[in-house]
A and B are shown apart, each in its own frame.
Chain A
Amino acid sequence: MTDMRQYQSHFLDDLGEQLQLMEGEILRLEQEGGTAEGVQSLFRAAHTLKGSSATMGYEKMTKITHAMETILDNVRSEVYPITTEMITLLFQCVDRLKVLEAEIALDSRELSDIDDLVGDMMLLDARRAQEMLVHAEKGEGDKTVISESFPLREDEWEMARRQVEGGLSLYRLYIRLSSECLMKSVRLDVIEKQLRDTAPVIWSELLSRWRDIPPPDGQFVRWLIAAADRKEELEREIRTWFDVDSVEAVPCSLDELHSQSQPPVIVRTDIGGRPESSFRLPPSERVKAQSIRVNVDRLETLMNLVGELVIDQTRIRQVEANLQQKYGSDETVKEMSPVFDHLTRVIGELQDSVMKVRMLPIEQLFSRFPRVVRDLANGLGKKVELMLEGNETELDRNLIEEVGDPLIHLIRNALDHGIETPEARRQAGKPEQGILRISAAHEDNQVVLTVKDDGAGIDADKLLAKAIDKNLFSAEEASQKKENEAIQLIFHPGLSTASEISDISGRGVGMDIVRAGIERINGMIEVETFKGRGTCFRIRLPLTLAIITGLMVDIGGRIYILPMSNVVEIIQMEPKALQSVKGVPVVSLRERIIPVVWLHDSLGYPRTGIKRKQIPIVVIGRAEKRLALAVDGLIGYQEVVIKSLGAYVGNIEGISGATILGDGRVALILEIGGIMKMAGGLT
């Protein structure tokens, strides 16, 4: 198998895509009852996976997909209809395949057991087939198994009419190959040809339905022919052909045909009688843009190179300014200026284009949600309609990966604590089916994601009571909190323990983790809630992780960078204007008291500029929380390329990375969450 290793990454890529596709189709089957194309594309996905996993030597995967294929095959050839049980099993198959996928990605081995699942599948297949057979025998014989519809096109219809006018009779022909027949599709081709030599063929199932994939074993293949022979003569003739096991010719009239040429409904579902989620999925778009698959590492390298160009460009700018000053009148120096301008523009465009290459539609992430919501809603006995909006919104692929977990966390909260049970909703005068709306949109230079439910909302009073209970603050302090401030408490780590909060406030499970996850990628999260009407979480993300706008500040003679997205306000202040509350220096800004922190203390430098007349103060914000940072000077802001400090240095609290400045020096980028945490001990 060693020579297969080189195909491993391709295999995994493809596997991921096929699984995604399968999940989408199964969901669609469940809600809409499914269409022939849906079943067909599911079958095709299972078939493809079976082939590729067999080639790669992954036996368990091959077995599962084979079992799926068997069932789907019987569904599409109408041996039995789709049932809820079947859909649940198909979901389980996809889940198990995902587990195997993870195991293969880890060390190319399939560890999980699959026999239980394959057993269930085989049992289901046998049982359903049996039921249908019994049903068929009791009914009007063999033919219920075969759909009678002949979807004739206009020209075929015309041809049938002409043949009848010419004195021939129409026959529906059912031919089944013997089970010993090898190379069935070739044999069927031969039969098709023989038929055409015998009589005019008006319609052939082989050329329409079974054109791309061979019909399943034991399946009757149908033709519509016109012949002068009688039924018995026709049957006798065909029976002499090679490998024909069974043949039946059924005479039919033009009228009969006409009534049957309506498009058939092939797959039925019998869902019902249990809490059901319905989803509005966008119709699957089969039109694919022209694209090639590129290794992520190569994109990463490209991005790094562009990052370096951006740095060099700032450097060249500085050099140019120096030259201008020294030799402003020199012709060659004058010539440089427009060249630099052009260079700057080109680099800017290059940066944009490379950035775009890394962008993916958020659909990649959204397509995971219907399944999550379905499972949760079913598990909780709730009814939910999931609405996904802004599927096409693009953002950096790293961001898509990072924002997935926080979003799923929010979805889980919305279903668990937000949306009420059908009874509770009925009592509150709301429709039984709750609505969960997840949307994505571009706003300025940011992506805004919202997760909105129409559930019970967050009870601020209960949150406050809980906070007092936990000694976060006194009842007196609590009474001064505005409702909006109280709601922010859900982000407080102390209030985020799951079991306790869910029966009190109905929300707040691990929200501090959600926020930490969002802030790690330089995002912000806000919450808005209306008691009894629902809750809305709004997440703001930068378009990319690699480049941010940074405010450069001077601290003890060193340059540090604050992400602009966290900077709320910059003020100058006289030292004596600082007030003090309980020994903690504060500033009062628009009726808000904000604690002041000397960054020198957090970073371990002696406080310098304290004797100056004016102290520059940068107010940073994280959700509702504000902190005023006293610095020695403000240098300016610029786009900075974020670079990691590397594994050797590891994680340093309060520092998210480094960047290279125009003059070649390295400056550290401060991380607001960490700074606030460090300051937490001081205030």
Chain B
Amino acid sequence: MQAVDQIQYVEFGIADENYAILISDIHEIIRMQDITEIPNSHRYVQGVINLRGKIVPVISLRSLFSLDPDSVTKSTRIIVVNHREESVGIIVDKVRKVTAFSDIQPPPERVGGINGAYFVGIGITSAGLTGILKLDEVLIRE
């Protein structure tokens, strides 16, 4: 088995918290785009963007986690992930770095007010705690 500290994640920030996604799930990271909203769709679906001729839906983690709505800044990014053979964009406040965790703990029931089911675990580094997202839960289709 691969040593835990060799698995790489992309760490990003939303509000004051740090989160991470498995690097192998990520297709690319792009700057904020013109988003076309979809009326009558789910509230956390922000809309769709044109990614080189492909229509890609974009979701807001802030909205999913019931935080304040996104305020777009210079550091706002869209992380495009591959999920069940489809690309989905996730809006984050800023992308921090590629990292690995020496220790990953199972998620508690709630992580800072957010449902623990959204996480596969909590990564621990010297700098602090990082919630590792479980894409299957975050991108659940209803």
Q: How far is the CA of A602 from the CA of B55 in the complex (A)?
A: 23
Q: Is the interface of A mostly helix, strand, loop or mixed?
A: mixed
Which chain A residues numbered 548 to 581 have a C-beta less than 8 Å away from chain B? 558
Residue numbers in B under 8 Å from A664 (CB-CB) = 34, 50
A649 engages B57 (CB within 8 Å): yes
Question: Is the C-beta of A293 less than 8 angstroms from some C-beta in chain B?
Answer: no
Q: How far is the CA of A382 from the CA of B77 in the complex (A)?
A: 68
**Nearest CB in chain A to that of B85: its residue:** A647
User: 1/0 per residue A642-661: CB within 8 Å of B?
Assistant: 01111111101111001010
Residue numbers in B under 8 Å from A645 (CB-CB) = 38, 48, 55, 57
Which chain B residues numbered 19 to 68 have a C-beta less than 8 Å away from chain A? 34, 36-41, 45, 47-50, 53, 55-57
Question: Is the C-beta of B139 less than 8 angstroms from some C-beta in chain A?
Answer: yes
Q: How far is the CB of B25 from chain A (nearest CB, A)?
A: 15
Q: Is the interface of B mostly helix, strand, loop or mixed?
A: strand
Question: Is the C-beta of B78 less than 8 angstroms from some C-beta in chain A?
Answer: no
B36 engages A649 (CB within 8 Å): no
Q: How far is the CA of A311 from the CA of B57 in the complex (A)?
A: 19
A646 engages B86 (CB within 8 Å): yes
Q: How far is the CB of B84 from chain A (nearest CB, A)?
A: 8
B57 engages A648 (CB within 8 Å): yes
Residue numbers in A under 8 Å from B45 (CB-CB) = 649
Q: How far is the CA of A667 from the CA of B50 in the complex (A)?
A: 10
> Known contacts A658-B55, A664-B50, A666-B48: does B40 contact A647 (CB below 8 Å)?
no
B40 engages A308 (CB within 8 Å): no
Q: How far is the CB of A640 from chain B (nearest CB, A)?
A: 12
> Known contacts A311-B53, A660-B53, A666-B55: does B40 contact A653 (CB below 8 Å)?
yes
Question: Is the C-beta of B88 less than 8 angstroms from some C-beta in chain A?
Answer: yes
> Known contacts A649-B45, A649-B48, A666-B48: does B39 contact A644 (CB below 8 Å)?
no
Q: How far is the CA of A17 from the CA of B93 in the complex (A)?
A: 56
> Known contacts A652-B39, A665-B50, A668-B36: does B55 contact A660 (CB below 8 Å)?
yes
**Nearest CB in chain B to that of A654: its residue:** B40
Q: How far is the CA of A307 from the CA of B55 in the complex (A)?
A: 13
B86 engages A647 (CB within 8 Å): yes
A644 engages B55 (CB within 8 Å): yes
Interface centre among A644, A649, A660 (most CB of B within 10 A): A649
Which chain A residues numbered 230 to 261 have a C-beta less than 8 Å away from chain B? none
B38 engages A649 (CB within 8 Å): yes
Q: How far is the CB of B85 from chain A (nearest CB, A)?
A: 9
Question: Is the C-beta of B97 less than 8 angstroms from some C-beta in chain A?
Answer: no
How many A-B residue pairs lie within 8 Å, measured between CB atoms? 68
**Nearest CB in chain A to that of B34: its residue:** A665
**Nearest CB in chain B to that of A605: its residue:** B39
User: 1/0 per residue A590-604: CB within 8 Å of B?
Assistant: 000000000000111
**Nearest CB in chain B to that of A658: its residue:** B55
A649's contact among B41, B49, B50, B84, by CB below 8 Å, is which?
B41
Which chain B residues numbered 110 to 142 have a C-beta less than 8 Å away from chain A? 139, 141
A648 engages B86 (CB within 8 Å): yes
B39 engages A658 (CB within 8 Å): no
Residue numbers in B under 8 Å from A653 (CB-CB) = 40
Q: How far is the CA of A648 from the CA of B39 in the complex (A)?
A: 15
A666's contact among B39, B50, B84, B88, by CB below 8 Å, is which?
B50
B40 engages A646 (CB within 8 Å): no
A660 engages B50 (CB within 8 Å): yes
Q: How far is the CA of A658 from the CA of B51 in the complex (A)?
A: 13
User: 1/0 per residue A147-175: CB within 8 Å of B?
Assistant: 00000000000000000000000000000
User: 1/0 per residue B75-102: CB within 8 Å of A?
Assistant: 0000000011010100000000000000
Q: How far is the CB of B38 from chain A (nearest CB, A)?
A: 6
B38's contact among A311, A605, A652, A665, by CB below 8 Å, is which?
A652
Q: How far is the CB of A455 from chain B (nearest CB, A)?
A: 43
Residue numbers in B under 8 Å from A602 (CB-CB) = 39
A643 engages B40 (CB within 8 Å): no
B55 engages A643 (CB within 8 Å): yes
Q: How far is the CB of A629 from chain B (nearest CB, A)?
A: 14
A648 engages B36 (CB within 8 Å): no
Q: How far is the CA of A606 from the CA of B138 in the complex (A)?
A: 31
**Nearest CB in chain B to that of A660: its residue:** B50
A665 engages B41 (CB within 8 Å): no
Q: How far is the CB of B91 from chain A (nearest CB, A)?
A: 15
**Nearest CB in chain B to that of A647: its residue:** B86
B36's contact among A308, A604, A646, A666, by CB below 8 Å, is which?
A666
B38 engages A655 (CB within 8 Å): yes
Q: How far is the CA of A358 from the CA of B53 in the complex (A)?
A: 21
B39's contact among A308, A311, A604, by CB below 8 Å, is which?
A604
Q: How far is the CB of A631 from chain B (nearest CB, A)?
A: 14
Q: How far is the CA of A95 from the CA of B56 in the complex (A)?
A: 43
Q: How far is the CB of B127 from chain A (nearest CB, A)?
A: 33
Residue numbers in A under 8 Å from B39 (CB-CB) = 602-605, 652, 654-655, 668
Q: How far is the CA of A308 from the CA of B50 in the complex (A)?
A: 11
Q: How far is the CA of A668 from the CA of B47 in the complex (A)?
A: 10
Residue numbers in A under 8 Å from B56 (CB-CB) = 646
Q: How far is the CB of B96 from chain A (nearest CB, A)?
A: 26
Interface centre among B36, B83, B141 (most CB of A within 10 A): B36
Q: A603-B40, A655-B38 are in contact. List 6 more A-B contacts (CB 8 A).
A: A307-B53, A311-B53, A604-B39, A645-B48, A646-B57, A649-B38
- The list of the 4 closest CB pairs from A to B, nearest first, reads A603-B39, A666-B36, A308-B53, A643-B55
6 contacts between A and B (CB under 8 A): A307-B53, A647-B84, A652-B38, A660-B55, A666-B36, A666-B48
Task: Tell me the A residues contacting B by CB distance below 8 Å.
Answer: 307-308, 311, 558, 602-605, 643-650, 652-655, 658, 660, 664-668
Task: Tell me the B residues contacting A by CB distance below 8 Å.
Answer: 34, 36-41, 45, 47-50, 53, 55-57, 83-84, 86, 88, 139, 141
